[in-house]
């Protein structure tokens, strides 16, 4: 399923962080949460992973 998901900002691929339950967009510097097994791909829900 991960292959079908892309970052909504950059359209680049995502990396799964199992420990944090997040999908990481290295290109955008954002982490999108996964809640109850559902990726929340909304910009307002993402957290920045770099300054």
The Cα–Cα gap between 32 and 41 comes to: 6
pLDDT tens track for 5-47? 999 999 999 999 999 999 999 999 999 999 999 999 999 999 9
The Cα–Cα gap between 27 and 7 comes to: 8
Q: What is the pLDDT of residue 36?
A: 97
Q: What is the pLDDT of residue 51?
A: 57
Tokens of 51: 């300054």
Confidence of residue 2 (pLDDT cuts 50, 70, 90): confident
Q: What is the pLDDT of residue 50?
A: 78
**Helix, strand or coil, per DSSP, at residue 43:** helix
């Amino acid at each position: 399923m991960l292959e079908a998901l892309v970052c909504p900002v950059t359209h680049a691929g995502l990396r799964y962080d199992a420990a944090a339950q997040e999908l990481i967009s290295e290109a955008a510097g954002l982490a999108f949460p996964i809640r109850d097994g559902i990726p929340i791909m909304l910009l307002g829900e993402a957290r920045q992973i770099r300054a």
